[in-house]
A and B are shown apart, each in its own frame.
Chain A
Protein backbone atom coordinates (compact mmCIF):
# COMPACT_ATOMS: atom_id res chain seq x y z
CA UNK A 1 0.00 0.00 0.00
CA UNK A 2 2.84 2.29 0.85
CA UNK A 3 4.34 1.59 -2.50
CA UNK A 4 1.06 2.50 -4.15
CA UNK A 5 0.97 5.77 -2.30
CA UNK A 6 4.16 6.67 -3.99
CA UNK A 7 3.18 5.31 -7.35
CA UNK A 8 -0.09 7.14 -7.75
CA UNK A 9 0.57 10.59 -9.03
CA UNK A 10 -1.91 13.19 -7.83
CA UNK A 11 -2.85 14.49 -11.29
CA UNK A 12 -3.02 11.07 -12.88
CA UNK A 13 -5.04 9.72 -9.94
CA UNK A 14 -7.67 12.40 -10.43
CA UNK A 15 -7.72 11.72 -14.14
CA UNK A 16 -8.23 8.01 -13.62
CA UNK A 17 -11.05 8.62 -11.13
CA UNK A 18 -12.71 10.84 -13.65
CA UNK A 19 -12.42 8.18 -16.33
CA UNK A 20 -13.89 5.52 -14.07
CA UNK A 21 -16.84 7.73 -13.16
CA UNK A 22 -17.44 8.37 -16.85
CA UNK A 23 -17.23 4.64 -17.58
CA UNK A 24 -20.01 3.94 -15.08
CA UNK A 25 -22.11 6.83 -16.27
CA UNK A 26 -21.92 5.67 -19.87
CA UNK A 27 -23.97 2.54 -19.07
CA UNK A 28 -21.42 -0.24 -19.61
CA UNK A 29 -22.73 -3.68 -18.53
CA UNK A 30 -19.66 -5.76 -17.86
CA UNK A 31 -20.12 -6.61 -14.18
CA UNK A 32 -16.65 -8.03 -13.58
CA UNK A 33 -14.99 -5.08 -15.22
CA UNK A 34 -17.29 -2.80 -13.23
CA UNK A 35 -16.31 -4.38 -9.95
CA UNK A 36 -12.65 -4.14 -10.85
CA UNK A 37 -12.97 -0.53 -11.77
CA UNK A 38 -14.90 0.29 -8.62
CA UNK A 39 -12.26 -1.29 -6.46
CA UNK A 40 -9.57 0.55 -8.35
CA UNK A 41 -11.47 3.80 -7.86
CA UNK A 42 -11.72 3.33 -4.12
CA UNK A 43 -8.06 2.38 -3.97
CA UNK A 44 -7.02 5.52 -5.79
CA UNK A 45 -9.33 7.69 -3.69
CA UNK A 46 -8.03 6.32 -0.43
CA UNK A 47 -4.42 6.64 -1.56
CA UNK A 48 -4.91 10.23 -2.60
CA UNK A 49 -6.69 10.98 0.64
CA UNK A 50 -3.77 9.62 2.57
CA UNK A 51 -1.36 11.64 0.48
CA UNK A 52 -3.34 14.78 1.13
CA UNK A 53 -3.49 14.17 4.83
CA UNK A 54 0.26 13.51 4.92
CA UNK A 55 0.81 16.75 3.06
CA UNK A 56 -1.48 18.57 5.46
CA UNK A 57 0.47 17.40 8.44
CA UNK A 58 3.70 18.29 6.72
CA UNK A 59 2.43 21.79 6.03
CA UNK A 60 1.39 22.24 9.65
CA UNK A 61 4.80 21.02 10.73
CA UNK A 62 6.65 23.42 8.42
CA UNK A 63 4.43 26.30 9.50
CA UNK A 64 5.10 25.57 13.14
CA UNK A 65 8.81 25.48 12.44
CA UNK A 66 8.85 28.96 10.89
CA UNK A 67 6.09 30.70 12.79
CA UNK A 68 7.39 32.85 15.61
Chain B
Protein backbone atom coordinates (compact mmCIF):
# COMPACT_ATOMS: atom_id res chain seq x y z
CA UNK B 1 0.00 0.00 0.00
CA UNK B 2 1.18 3.43 -0.85
CA UNK B 3 0.38 6.35 1.27
CA UNK B 4 0.32 9.52 -0.68
CA UNK B 5 0.28 13.08 0.49
CA UNK B 6 -2.68 15.14 -0.72
CA UNK B 7 -0.55 17.21 -3.06
CA UNK B 8 1.09 14.10 -4.47
CA UNK B 9 -2.25 12.45 -5.04
CA UNK B 10 -3.69 15.45 -6.82
CA UNK B 11 -0.52 15.74 -8.87
CA UNK B 12 -0.82 12.10 -10.00
CA UNK B 13 -4.54 12.41 -10.83
CA UNK B 14 -3.98 15.64 -12.77
CA UNK B 15 -1.07 13.98 -14.61
CA UNK B 16 -3.19 11.05 -15.64
CA UNK B 17 -6.00 13.32 -16.77
CA UNK B 18 -3.60 15.45 -18.81
CA UNK B 19 -1.90 12.48 -20.48
CA UNK B 20 -5.13 10.71 -21.22
CA UNK B 21 -7.08 13.60 -22.57
CA UNK B 22 -4.57 15.92 -24.29
CA UNK B 23 -3.99 13.48 -27.17
CA UNK B 24 -7.35 14.17 -28.78
CA UNK B 25 -9.60 17.18 -29.25
CA UNK B 26 -12.78 16.91 -27.26
CA UNK B 27 -15.46 19.19 -25.98
CA UNK B 28 -17.99 18.78 -23.21
CA UNK B 29 -21.50 19.90 -24.08
CA UNK B 30 -24.13 20.94 -21.56
CA UNK B 31 -26.32 23.73 -20.23
CA UNK B 32 -24.94 26.68 -18.32
CA UNK B 33 -26.12 27.45 -14.83
CA UNK B 34 -24.76 29.67 -12.08
CA UNK B 35 -22.83 31.89 -14.53
CA UNK B 36 -20.62 34.41 -12.66
CA UNK B 37 -17.77 36.80 -13.35
CA UNK B 38 -15.43 37.20 -10.36
CA UNK B 39 -13.17 40.23 -9.82
CA UNK B 40 -13.89 41.31 -13.34
CA UNK B 41 -11.56 38.68 -14.77
CA UNK B 42 -12.57 35.11 -13.85
CA UNK B 43 -15.59 33.36 -15.26
CA UNK B 44 -17.14 30.40 -13.46
CA UNK B 45 -20.26 28.41 -14.23
CA UNK B 46 -21.69 24.93 -13.97
CA UNK B 47 -22.20 22.76 -17.02
CA UNK B 48 -25.11 20.39 -16.56
CA UNK B 49 -27.09 17.67 -18.26
CA UNK B 50 -30.03 15.75 -16.80
CA UNK B 51 -27.91 13.72 -14.41
CA UNK B 52 -24.54 15.39 -13.91
CA UNK B 53 -22.73 18.63 -13.24
CA UNK B 54 -19.23 19.95 -14.00
CA UNK B 55 -17.49 23.12 -12.76
CA UNK B 56 -16.07 25.30 -15.48
CA UNK B 57 -13.45 27.95 -14.94
CA UNK B 58 -11.95 30.36 -17.49
CA UNK B 59 -10.32 33.79 -17.71
CA UNK B 60 -12.70 36.46 -19.01
CA UNK B 61 -10.33 37.56 -21.78
CA UNK B 62 -10.58 34.22 -23.53
CA UNK B 63 -14.37 34.36 -23.58
CA UNK B 64 -15.56 35.51 -26.98
CA UNK B 65 -19.29 34.89 -26.79
CA UNK B 66 -21.67 36.32 -24.24
CA UNK B 67 -22.95 33.61 -21.93
CA UNK B 68 -25.92 33.35 -19.70
CA UNK B 69 -27.73 30.69 -17.72
CA UNK B 70 -29.72 28.21 -19.74
CA UNK B 71 -27.49 28.32 -22.84
CA UNK B 72 -26.19 25.13 -24.40
CA UNK B 73 -22.47 25.33 -25.02
CA UNK B 74 -19.47 23.22 -25.99
CA UNK B 75 -16.52 23.75 -23.65
CA UNK B 76 -13.00 23.08 -24.90
CA UNK B 77 -10.25 22.62 -22.29
CA UNK B 78 -8.58 20.27 -19.85
CA UNK B 79 -10.04 19.03 -16.59
CA UNK B 80 -8.05 19.03 -13.39
CA UNK B 81 -8.34 19.19 -9.67
CA UNK B 82 -7.51 22.59 -8.26
CA UNK B 83 -5.04 21.72 -5.50
CA UNK B 84 -5.89 24.48 -3.09
CA UNK B 85 -9.59 23.60 -2.74
CA UNK B 86 -9.60 20.06 -4.12
CA UNK B 87 -12.18 21.07 -6.56
CA UNK B 88 -12.53 19.29 -9.88
CA UNK B 89 -13.13 21.61 -12.80
CA UNK B 90 -12.45 22.15 -16.46
CA UNK B 91 -10.28 25.13 -17.26
CA UNK B 92 -11.88 26.21 -20.51
CA UNK B 93 -9.77 27.53 -23.38
CA UNK B 94 -12.79 28.46 -25.35
CA UNK B 95 -16.53 28.10 -25.36
CA UNK B 96 -18.69 27.62 -28.43
CA UNK B 97 -22.40 27.97 -28.52
CA UNK B 98 -24.32 24.89 -29.58
CA UNK B 99 -26.68 25.36 -32.48
CA UNK B 100 -27.83 28.34 -34.59
CA UNK B 101 -30.56 29.26 -32.16
CA UNK B 102 -28.15 29.58 -29.28
CA UNK B 103 -25.84 31.80 -31.27
CA UNK B 104 -28.67 34.09 -32.23
CA UNK B 105 -29.86 34.25 -28.69
CA UNK B 106 -26.36 35.09 -27.51
CA UNK B 107 -26.04 37.80 -30.12
CA UNK B 108 -29.37 39.28 -29.11
CA UNK B 109 -28.20 39.43 -25.49
CA UNK B 110 -24.92 41.05 -26.50
CA UNK B 111 -26.70 43.54 -28.72
CA UNK B 112 -28.91 44.58 -25.81
CA UNK B 113 -25.90 45.03 -23.58
CA UNK B 114 -23.89 47.05 -26.11
CA UNK B 115 -26.90 49.14 -27.00
CA UNK B 116 -27.46 49.99 -23.35
CA UNK B 117 -23.89 51.23 -23.16
CA UNK B 118 -24.52 53.54 -26.10
CA UNK B 119 -22.10 51.76 -28.44
CA UNK B 120 -24.48 52.13 -31.39
CA UNK B 121 -25.59 55.64 -30.52
CA UNK B 122 -26.26 57.68 -33.67
CA UNK B 123 -25.52 60.92 -31.86
CA UNK B 124 -21.85 60.13 -31.36
CA UNK B 125 -21.17 59.16 -34.96
CA UNK B 126 -18.46 61.24 -36.57
CA UNK B 127 -18.56 62.10 -40.24
CA UNK B 128 -15.67 61.13 -42.47
CA UNK B 129 -13.63 63.76 -44.28
CA UNK B 130 -14.74 64.17 -47.88
CA UNK B 131 -11.20 63.90 -49.20
CA UNK B 132 -9.17 61.58 -46.95
CA UNK B 133 -5.40 61.46 -47.45
CA UNK B 134 -4.13 58.71 -45.17
CA UNK B 135 -6.05 55.66 -44.19
CA UNK B 136 -5.41 52.61 -42.06
CA UNK B 137 -6.86 49.52 -43.71
CA UNK B 138 -7.61 46.55 -41.50
CA UNK B 139 -8.33 43.48 -43.64
CA UNK B 140 -6.92 40.18 -44.72
CA UNK B 141 -4.48 40.80 -47.55
CA UNK B 142 -5.41 37.50 -49.09
CA UNK B 143 -9.11 38.24 -49.20
CA UNK B 144 -11.16 39.18 -52.25
CA UNK B 145 -12.54 42.05 -50.18
CA UNK B 146 -9.06 43.57 -49.96
CA UNK B 147 -8.61 43.37 -53.75
CA UNK B 148 -12.08 44.76 -54.48
CA UNK B 149 -11.60 47.63 -52.08
CA UNK B 150 -8.22 48.62 -53.55
CA UNK B 151 -9.50 48.29 -57.12
CA UNK B 152 -12.60 50.48 -56.62
CA UNK B 153 -10.54 53.00 -54.70
CA UNK B 154 -8.14 53.28 -57.65
CA UNK B 155 -10.99 53.75 -60.10
CA UNK B 156 -12.58 56.54 -58.10
CA UNK B 157 -9.71 58.45 -56.61
CA UNK B 158 -5.92 58.53 -56.56
CA UNK B 159 -3.10 59.63 -54.33
CA UNK B 160 -4.26 57.94 -51.14
CA UNK B 161 -1.71 56.75 -48.61
CA UNK B 162 -2.88 53.38 -47.41
CA UNK B 163 -1.29 51.59 -44.46
CA UNK B 164 -2.43 48.00 -44.54
CA UNK B 165 -2.84 46.11 -41.27
CA UNK B 166 -3.08 42.45 -42.11
CA UNK B 167 -5.36 40.45 -39.81
CA UNK B 168 -7.12 37.11 -39.62
CA UNK B 169 -10.78 37.77 -40.27
CA UNK B 170 -12.23 34.52 -38.98
CA UNK B 171 -11.47 31.91 -36.40
CA UNK B 172 -10.63 32.02 -32.74
CA UNK B 173 -7.64 34.32 -33.11
CA UNK B 174 -9.32 36.81 -35.37
CA UNK B 175 -10.82 39.08 -32.66
CA UNK B 176 -7.49 39.50 -30.86
CA UNK B 177 -5.78 40.17 -34.19
CA UNK B 178 -8.31 42.80 -35.13
CA UNK B 179 -8.26 44.51 -31.74
CA UNK B 180 -4.47 44.63 -31.89
CA UNK B 181 -4.58 46.17 -35.36
CA UNK B 182 -7.07 48.85 -34.24
CA UNK B 183 -4.88 49.69 -31.27
CA UNK B 184 -1.73 49.78 -33.38
CA UNK B 185 -3.29 52.06 -35.96
CA UNK B 186 -4.48 54.43 -33.21
CA UNK B 187 -1.16 54.50 -31.42
CA UNK B 188 0.72 54.98 -34.70
CA UNK B 189 -1.62 57.86 -35.51
CA UNK B 190 -1.05 59.59 -32.18
CA UNK B 191 2.73 58.93 -32.29
CA UNK B 192 2.93 61.03 -35.43
CA UNK B 193 2.06 64.03 -33.28
CA UNK B 194 -0.93 64.73 -35.40
CA UNK B 195 -4.15 63.55 -33.89
CA UNK B 196 -5.44 62.97 -37.38
CA UNK B 197 -2.50 61.21 -39.01
CA UNK B 198 -4.97 58.69 -40.32
CA UNK B 199 -8.10 60.36 -41.64
CA UNK B 200 -10.07 57.13 -41.58
CA UNK B 201 -9.73 53.66 -40.15
CA UNK B 202 -11.23 51.21 -42.61
CA UNK B 203 -12.13 47.64 -41.78
CA UNK B 204 -13.57 45.30 -44.34
CA UNK B 205 -14.24 41.65 -45.05
CA UNK B 206 -16.21 39.78 -47.67
CA UNK B 207 -19.31 37.69 -47.17
CA UNK B 208 -19.53 34.56 -45.08
CA UNK B 209 -21.71 32.54 -42.77
CA UNK B 210 -22.81 33.93 -39.43
CA UNK B 211 -20.11 31.85 -37.72
CA UNK B 212 -17.46 33.11 -40.11
CA UNK B 213 -18.42 36.70 -39.42
CA UNK B 214 -18.47 36.22 -35.64
CA UNK B 215 -15.16 38.04 -35.13
CA UNK B 216 -17.00 41.21 -36.09
CA UNK B 217 -19.68 40.56 -33.51
CA UNK B 218 -17.04 40.06 -30.86
CA UNK B 219 -17.45 42.36 -27.90
CA UNK B 220 -13.72 43.17 -27.79
CA UNK B 221 -13.71 44.18 -31.43
CA UNK B 222 -16.84 46.31 -30.99
CA UNK B 223 -15.31 48.09 -27.99
CA UNK B 224 -12.08 48.72 -29.87
CA UNK B 225 -13.97 50.28 -32.75
CA UNK B 226 -16.06 52.30 -30.35
CA UNK B 227 -12.89 53.55 -28.68
CA UNK B 228 -10.99 54.37 -31.85
CA UNK B 229 -9.81 57.99 -32.00
CA UNK B 230 -9.62 57.68 -35.76
CA UNK B 231 -13.04 57.88 -37.42
CA UNK B 232 -14.12 54.41 -38.49
CA UNK B 233 -15.62 52.97 -41.65
CA UNK B 234 -16.57 49.31 -41.43
CA UNK B 235 -18.03 47.08 -44.14
CA UNK B 236 -18.48 43.40 -43.42
CA UNK B 237 -20.06 40.75 -45.62
CA UNK B 238 -22.96 41.36 -47.92
CA UNK B 239 -25.67 43.97 -47.79
CA UNK B 240 -27.91 41.77 -45.59
CA UNK B 241 -25.18 41.03 -43.03
CA UNK B 242 -25.12 43.58 -40.27
CA UNK B 243 -22.45 43.02 -37.63
CA UNK B 244 -22.00 44.87 -34.35
CA UNK B 245 -18.66 46.14 -35.62
CA UNK B 246 -20.49 47.92 -38.43
CA UNK B 247 -23.11 49.28 -36.08
CA UNK B 248 -20.47 50.66 -33.74
CA UNK B 249 -18.55 52.27 -36.60
CA UNK B 250 -19.00 55.92 -37.49
CA UNK B 251 -19.98 54.93 -41.02
CA UNK B 252 -21.13 51.58 -42.30
CA UNK B 253 -20.51 50.26 -45.78
CA UNK B 254 -22.67 47.38 -46.93
CA UNK B 255 -19.91 45.62 -48.91
CA UNK B 256 -16.17 46.11 -49.53
CA UNK B 257 -17.03 47.84 -52.80
CA UNK B 258 -19.55 50.11 -51.11
CA UNK B 259 -16.93 50.77 -48.47
CA UNK B 260 -14.56 52.17 -51.11
CA UNK B 261 -17.40 54.31 -52.49
CA UNK B 262 -18.10 55.75 -49.07
CA UNK B 263 -14.46 56.46 -48.41
CA UNK B 264 -13.67 58.55 -51.48
CA UNK B 265 -15.72 60.50 -54.00
CA UNK B 266 -15.62 59.62 -57.68
CA UNK B 267 -13.16 61.95 -59.38
CA UNK B 268 -15.55 62.36 -62.33
CA UNK B 269 -18.23 63.67 -59.96
CA UNK B 270 -15.76 65.98 -58.31
CA UNK B 271 -14.50 67.29 -61.64
CA UNK B 272 -18.06 67.90 -62.77
CA UNK B 273 -18.87 69.61 -59.50
CA UNK B 274 -15.75 71.72 -59.86
CA UNK B 275 -16.68 72.72 -63.39
CA UNK B 276 -20.18 73.67 -62.25
CA UNK B 277 -18.84 75.71 -59.36
CA UNK B 278 -16.40 77.46 -61.64
CA UNK B 279 -19.13 78.24 -64.12
CA UNK B 280 -21.30 79.62 -61.36
CA UNK B 281 -18.51 81.82 -60.07
CA UNK B 282 -17.73 83.07 -63.56
CA UNK B 283 -21.39 83.78 -64.17
CA UNK B 284 -21.85 85.74 -61.00
CA UNK B 285 -18.61 87.61 -61.60
CA UNK B 286 -19.80 88.59 -65.06
CA UNK B 287 -23.17 89.68 -63.73
CA UNK B 288 -21.57 91.68 -60.99
CA UNK B 289 -19.22 93.33 -63.47
CA UNK B 290 -22.10 94.17 -65.78
CA UNK B 291 -24.05 95.68 -62.93
CA UNK B 292 -21.11 97.81 -61.88
CA UNK B 293 -20.51 98.87 -65.48
CA UNK B 294 -24.14 99.92 -65.79
CA UNK B 295 -23.94 101.93 -62.58
CA UNK B 296 -20.78 103.63 -63.82
CA UNK B 297 -22.30 104.41 -67.17
CA UNK B 298 -25.38 105.84 -65.56
CA UNK B 299 -23.29 107.93 -63.21
CA UNK B 300 -21.23 109.13 -66.13
CA UNK B 301 -24.27 110.06 -68.18
CA UNK B 302 -26.19 111.57 -65.25
CA UNK B 303 -24.94 115.18 -65.56
CA UNK B 304 -25.77 115.20 -69.26
CA UNK B 305 -29.21 113.78 -68.61
CA UNK B 306 -29.83 116.29 -65.87
CA UNK B 307 -28.70 119.11 -68.12
CA UNK B 308 -30.97 117.94 -70.90
CA UNK B 309 -33.87 117.93 -68.49
CA UNK B 310 -33.15 121.45 -67.37
CA UNK B 311 -32.81 122.66 -70.97
CA UNK B 312 -36.14 121.17 -71.91
CA UNK B 313 -37.70 122.67 -68.82
CA UNK B 314 -36.26 126.08 -69.61
CA UNK B 315 -37.49 125.93 -73.22
CA UNK B 316 -40.92 124.97 -71.99
CA UNK B 317 -40.96 127.75 -69.48
CA UNK B 318 -39.78 130.37 -72.00
CA UNK B 319 -42.44 129.21 -74.42
CA UNK B 320 -45.03 129.50 -71.70
CA UNK B 321 -44.02 133.06 -70.89
CA UNK B 322 -44.05 134.11 -74.56
CA UNK B 323 -47.42 132.52 -75.15
CA UNK B 324 -48.76 134.10 -71.98
CA UNK B 325 -47.56 137.53 -73.07
CA UNK B 326 -49.09 137.10 -76.55
CA UNK B 327 -52.46 136.11 -75.26
CA UNK B 328 -52.25 138.80 -72.59
CA UNK B 329 -51.70 141.45 -75.24
CA UNK B 330 -54.50 140.03 -77.34
CA UNK B 331 -56.74 140.21 -74.31
CA UNK B 332 -55.84 143.84 -73.75
CA UNK B 333 -56.64 144.63 -77.40
CA UNK B 334 -59.93 142.87 -77.13
CA UNK B 335 -60.86 144.86 -74.05
CA UNK B 336 -59.98 148.04 -75.76
CA UNK B 337 -62.02 147.38 -78.87
CA UNK B 338 -64.98 146.30 -76.78
CA UNK B 339 -64.87 149.61 -74.98
CA UNK B 340 -64.52 151.48 -78.28
CA UNK B 341 -67.55 149.74 -79.71
CA UNK B 342 -69.54 150.69 -76.65
CA UNK B 343 -68.39 154.26 -76.94
CA UNK B 344 -69.28 154.36 -80.61
CA UNK B 345 -72.81 153.28 -79.90
CA UNK B 346 -73.11 156.11 -77.40
CA UNK B 347 -71.78 158.80 -79.78
CA UNK B 348 -74.48 161.51 -80.17
CA UNK B 349 -73.31 162.27 -83.68
CA UNK B 350 -74.72 158.96 -84.72
CA UNK B 351 -78.17 160.27 -83.78
CA UNK B 352 -77.58 163.50 -85.74
CA UNK B 353 -76.84 161.43 -88.82
CA UNK B 354 -80.37 160.11 -88.63
CA UNK B 355 -81.72 163.74 -89.04
CA UNK B 356 -81.83 164.92 -85.42
CA UNK B 357 -80.36 168.19 -84.18
CA UNK B 358 -78.83 169.06 -80.86
CA UNK B 359 -79.33 172.40 -79.16
CA UNK B 360 -76.45 173.92 -77.27
CA UNK B 361 -76.64 177.08 -75.18
CA UNK B 362 -74.17 179.91 -75.24
CA UNK B 363 -71.90 178.11 -72.88
CA UNK B 364 -71.78 175.18 -75.29
CA UNK B 365 -73.72 172.87 -73.02
CA UNK B 366 -76.44 170.69 -74.47
CA UNK B 367 -79.95 171.95 -73.80
CA UNK B 368 -82.07 169.04 -72.74
CA UNK B 369 -85.17 170.84 -71.38
CA UNK B 370 -87.49 173.45 -72.99
CA UNK B 371 -87.91 175.04 -69.61
CA UNK B 372 -84.35 176.31 -69.60
CA UNK B 373 -84.92 178.32 -72.79
CA UNK B 374 -86.42 181.80 -72.87
CA UNK B 375 -87.53 184.13 -75.57
CA UNK B 376 -84.63 185.75 -77.36
CA UNK B 377 -81.98 183.28 -76.12
CA UNK B 378 -79.22 182.65 -78.60
CA UNK B 379 -78.54 178.95 -79.17
CA UNK B 380 -76.52 176.84 -81.47
CA UNK B 381 -78.12 174.07 -83.50
CA UNK B 382 -75.83 171.17 -84.10
CA UNK B 383 -76.65 169.16 -87.23
CA UNK B 384 -74.86 166.24 -88.72
CA UNK B 385 -72.74 168.33 -91.05
CA UNK B 386 -72.25 171.51 -88.99
CA UNK B 387 -73.62 174.08 -86.61
CA UNK B 388 -75.86 177.10 -87.11
CA UNK B 389 -76.81 179.87 -84.75
CA UNK B 390 -80.50 180.46 -83.83
CA UNK B 391 -82.68 182.62 -81.62
CA UNK B 392 -85.62 181.42 -79.55
CA UNK B 393 -88.70 183.31 -80.84
CA UNK B 394 -91.65 181.73 -79.13
CA UNK B 395 -92.94 179.56 -76.44
CA UNK B 396 -96.09 177.51 -76.54
CA UNK B 397 -97.72 174.18 -76.30
CA UNK B 398 -97.17 173.42 -79.92
CA UNK B 399 -93.53 174.32 -79.71
CA UNK B 400 -93.15 172.56 -76.47
CA UNK B 401 -94.79 169.42 -77.75
CA UNK B 402 -92.72 169.49 -80.84
CA UNK B 403 -89.57 169.74 -78.79
CA UNK B 404 -90.63 166.86 -76.69
Contacts and interface: CB of A to CB of B under 8 A. Distances in A.
Interface of A: 10, 14, 17-18, 20-21, 24-25, 27-29, 31, 34, 38, 41-42, 45, 48-49, 52, 55-56, 59, 63
B102 to A, nearest CB: 90
A15 B113 CA distance: 93
A53 to B, nearest CB: 8
Contacts, number: 59
Given A17-B321, A20-B321, A48-B310, 5 more contacts: A24-B324, A25-B328, A41-B321, A59-B303, A63-B300
B334 to A, nearest CB: 11
B313 to A, nearest CB: 7
Nearest to B313: A14
Q: Is the interface of B mostly helix, strand, loop or mixed?
A: helix
Contact of B321 (A31, A38, A49): A38
Nearest to B324: A24
A49 B316 CA distance: 12
B364 interface: no
Interface of B: 300, 303-304, 307, 310-311, 313-314, 317-318, 320-321, 324-325, 327-328, 331-332, 335
Nearest to A46: B318
B306 to A, nearest CB: 9
Contact of A27 (B300, B321, B331): B331
Contacts of B320: 17, 21
A64 to B, nearest CB: 12
A48 B313 CA distance: 11
A29 B317 contact: no
A29 B335 CA distance: 10
Contacts of A21: 317, 320-321, 324
A28 B327 CA distance: 12
Contacts of A63: 300
The 7 closest A-B pairs by CB, nearest first: A24-B324, A45-B318, A41-B321, A24-B328, A17-B317, A21-B320, A59-B303
